[in-house]
Structures are given as structure tokens and as C-alpha cells.
Structure 1
């Protein structure tokens, strides 16, 4: 029997990798949720045989209709969109939270057919840091986690999937290394030390795919559990040197104060500085659960390293 896989954000970075986990597999029928059926990205999915369904995450009834009959659902929210629109982390968290609740309630309404709900989320920065670091684009997702856990029948079928650092974050000006001709090298300014640990998934469009397949193949093992999706453990300094190595260039990380970083980048500086200060402060606890729940890794899911594209390869293909 063919299983219906419904994917939220199918045209986005995570969604593309999730689609790849199921497309052209005879056991699955893929349904993509989109607000715009006429976009080029949507049309490209349709050409691959993906069913397109229009839905707005702000409209509970449209989400419920889109989720109807699903056996597997991949759900994700986009904090950055309302953050840009409203220029407010508070409003972005409010929007993201309501969207996440809408999806959770819609998924719960399909419980008779639903086998697996994969929810893309992040660790609880506030709890891990004992109230010191509240990263807005983490916090909204954490509140959604709480809502899912308040629905026992849904929690029992949910994998809480933590997505780590994207290699293409370097495309965003706030992280893009800047070339200084007089020094003949690239510099990167940040409110963090070179030793700040970073867990990365590299190219998420490719490397989320083995995790999704592993989660589904694991059966009940990943249900009700947290899975951290990362392929490599590095540091902010090593990350920069890896990128520079693929360009045959020299690079240097220059640490500046959080106040100066925020002044340079405004709201984006505030958001990213808070995350980096969290990572710098808690270090190896960054990807742990404050309640002591076990966090499953690729090894727990039986995923081999060879299934992933390396960070080096991802950086080689990255253009900006």
C-alpha cells in the first residue's frame, strides 16, 4: 500500500532534502504544501510527480485539509520570514508559534492514518543556559515542542528533529567573509571565539535526506524522541579555515564585542549574536536536552558517514 507523505516547506532548503528522501520511491506518494501553486519551484516539483496542495500555515482549516489522510508528515516553520516582514523577533515568535500549533492540531486530527510526524525544531537555549540566553528563533520552536508534548497521541508519533548549522549560512552578509586586499586575505567578524563549537549538517538540501530515511527506517525507535541532524563537529574558526581552503585563500576570524556586532547588523546582529553567545557559553551542551532526554544521532539510526556530502564538497559548490 502506497503511503502518503505530506511535506511542509517542500520548496525550501529542508523541504527539498525531504522530498528527495521519498520521490520516485514506489512505496510513497509525495504531497507538497505551498501557498503558491504557480511558483517556479512548485511547478518543478509537479514535474517530478509531486502532488501540490495550496495551504497557508496561518489558516488552521487549510492546514487540516492539506494534512488529511497523511501517513507521514514533515513540518517546519520559517522564523525568518515574519522576522523580516515585521522587523520584530517578538512578532516572529508569535507568528511561528501559531503556525506550529496549527500544524500540530492538524496532524492530531489525522491520527487515525498518521504513522509519523517529523517536526523540525531546535534545542531549548533558555533552559540549557539556565535562563541566560533566549535565542528567539529557537524559543518559538520550543513553545511548539511543548504544545506537541501536551498532545500525548501526537507526541508518541513525533520525532523532534534538530537541524544544525547550514553551510550556506556563509551566503548571508552577516557571516560572509570579507576580502581585504591590503592583507590579501578574508576576514570574518563575530562576537565569538574561534574555539566556539559548531555542529553542522553541511548542505542541508542533500544531508537531511539520509536522516529522514533513517528516521522512517527506524520504525518506532525515533518516535517520541529527539534526533540531532549533524554530519560534522567543528568550531567557528575551523569552519572558516575549511571554507578558505576550498577557495585557495587565507582567512582570519576577528572577534568583536556583542555590542559592536549588534550595532553593525541591527536586528539580525541581535538575533545571531544571541545564538553565538549561547554556543560560546554552553559549548558542548549546545545540542543537549535540558530535561535529560536522550538525543539520537546518525549512529543510533544506523546512518553511515558515506551517505553524506562532506562540508568541503559543500563549500566547493557554494557560490556568492
Structure 2
């Protein structure tokens, strides 16, 4: 009899990648039936998954009754929370804890949580305004405290982020302006494609990865390397500009300006993964990850 894996955000970047790679895997597609959680089961993306045999259900992360129904019978759960839906740390933390509580109640055997480091703690209190990291770290801590069998996937800096803010300057040169030095190391991931490769490997290595952090990055890249590979691929000129903290914040909506500033300062010091190597996380993979150059080649943004 197939086990059930419940995937939150099944029509989004991370959950969608998990569903895609489980369906495509010769072993896991037979071992697991997939239940996808989404807000609206009638939208085309949800209907497309239904046509592939995924059971699509809606659930309210704020309602434990709703989550009890959604997680019923689940052996494995992939959980991703969305801070930016409300931009409220308390709401995200409550939602994550709700899922953890129900997973504990229903005896879920493996909770895979998409988390991030606690920036406030890792920076020694220097950077204390990055709630979209710290809130997830709070949920992770709670999952550990209540004893749900879990593995923690830490997605890297999205390659797609660069599509948003590498723009032509007045001289037509593709320019990235950041409040860090050009030597700051960004761990990058093609989130839509590669999340499922990591999660698939986590599922297959459950027994040895309970309690572990898996770092979801293809490699570390400096801004110089990011831009050089754009030039190499497209032939377009590129330029890096380091801007002051105040100038950088002026580029952004006020509600997120300080958060994004400190997010980038964290990447420079102590580092997005606090200096951790990617070797262990790569060691579990069966599939090749998308490199930054490969991402640029298929991107229409540059």
C-alpha cells in the first residue's frame, strides 16, 4: 500500500518542484501517493496536478481543524510557509507551529520543513530585522522541541531574484547595485527546478537525516561571478555598484527596506549559511543541479 506525502504550496515554486520530482522518480512515485495543499483547488495549476493523479485539497494554516483533515493519513509532509503573504512574523510562526502540532498529533513520520537560519542569533544581534528568516528558525526550534521526526531544508538565495534587480542603467549596461562588496558570496538555487531534487533525496535518506540541515544551494557565487557569466552567455556588458545602506533602502518599499538591507548584510557577514560548506548537502543528491550559467541561458530577463 502506498504511503501518503502531503505537500504544502503544491502549485508554488518549492512545493511544485517537490511534486514534480516525486512524480518523475521511478521509486518514489510508486512508494508515495501525493496530496497537494493549495489555496484554490479550482485554479488551472491545481487542476493540472489533479490530472497527473495528485489529490488536491485546500487547507487553512490558521485552523487546526482544517489542518487535521488535510494531514490525515500522512506519512511524510513537506511544509513551506509564506511570510510575504502577510509580512507578519507572528502569523507565519503560528501557522508553522499549527502544522507541527497536527503532525505530532497524527504521528507523521517525517516532516520536511523549508526553514532558514536565525539572523539575529547568527549575527550576534547586529542584524535583528530579518523576520522572514528568524520566524522560520522559530518554527524549526519548536518542531525540534515537541519531537516531530523532521529534516530541515534551507533554500538558498533564489537565482530568479537577480532577474528582478539586474537592470540596464542609463548607459544600457546591465547593473546590479547592492549594499555589499562584490566579493560577498551568494549561495544560489534555481528554486523552481531544484527544490524537489533536494527533497527527493531527503525522503530517500530519512533515517540518516532526521534532525539535519540540508543546504539547498547549487554553489556560492560572488556578484562578479554572477555578472561575468551573464556577459559570457549574452554578450551584454555588466557592472557592479556597491551603494550605501541608505541608498539601497531608497530603492525599496518602506515596509521591507530595512529587512532586505539586513538580509544582504547577513550574506556578507557571517554568511547566508554562516560559512557552512555545501559538501554534505550535495552528497545525498542523485540529480545534477542547475548552475547559474544554465539558469541565465534559459532566462528571458537578461
Normalised TM-score (structure 2): 0.91
Give the alignment partner of residue 62 of structure 2, picking from 58, 63, 70: 58
Query: Offset of 1:243 from its aligned partner?
Result: 3.0
Query: Offset of 1:249 from its aligned partner?
Result: 0.8
State how many pairs are aligned.
295
Query: Offset of 1:138 from its aligned partner?
Result: 0.3
Query: Offset of 1:216 from its aligned partner?
Result: 1.4
Do the aligned residues in 2 keep the contact of 1:8 with 1:33 (CA within 8 Å)?
Answer: yes
**CA displacement, residues 141-169 of structure 1 (integer Å, 9 cap, x when unaligned):** 011112112202x0xx1001111011111
Name structure 1 gaps, 5 residues minimum: 84-91
Aligned to 1:88: none
Aligned to 1:12: 12
Task: State whether structure 2 residue 180 is matched by structure 1 residue 168.
Answer: no
Give the alignment partner of residue 197 of structure 1, picking from 166, 178, 185: 185
Secondary structure at 2:188 match in 1? strand
RMSD: 2.0
CA distance in 2, matches of 1:283, 1:150: 26
Name structure 2 gaps, 5 residues minimum: none
CA distance in 2, matches of 1:164, 1:124: 14
CA distance in 1, matches of 2:279, 2:134: 18
Task: State whether structure 2 residue 172 is matched by structure 1 residue 177.
Answer: no
**CA displacement, residues 86-110 of structure 1 (integer Å, 9 cap, x when unaligned):** xxxxxx1011111101111111122
Give the alignment partner of residue 116 of structure 1, picking from 91, 96, 110: 110
Query: Offset of 1:42 from its aligned partner?
Result: 0.9
Give the alignment partner of residue 44 of structure 1, picking from 39, 45, 48: 48
CA distance in 2, matches of 1:96, 1:117: 17
Do the aligned residues in 1 keep the contact of 2:115 with 2:155 (CA within 8 Å)?
Answer: yes
Secondary structure at 2:10 match in 1? coil
Do the aligned residues in 2 keep the contact of 1:128 with 1:285 (CA within 8 Å)?
Answer: no
Distance 1:285 1:162, change over 3 A: closer
CA distance in 2, matches of 1:261, 1:128: 23
Describe how 1:1-320 pairs up with structure 2 within 5 A.
1-23=1-23, 25-83=29-87, 92-111=88-107, 114-134=108-128, 135-152=130-147, 154=148, 157-172=149-164, 176-182=165-171, 184-201=172-189, 203-265=190-252, 266-283=254-271, 286=274, 288=276, 296-299=280-283, 301=284, 303=285, 307-320=288-301
CA distance in 2, matches of 1:145, 1:212: 16
CA distance in 2, matches of 1:61, 1:295: 41
Do the aligned residues in 2 keep the contact of 1:196 with 1:237 (CA within 8 Å)?
Answer: no
Show structure 1 runs of 4+ deviating over 3 A. Answer: none
CA distance in 1, matches of 2:30, 2:43: 26
Secondary structure at 1:132 match in 2? coil
Do the aligned residues in 2 keep the contact of 1:227 with 1:295 (CA within 8 Å)?
Answer: no
Secondary structure at 2:60 match in 1? coil
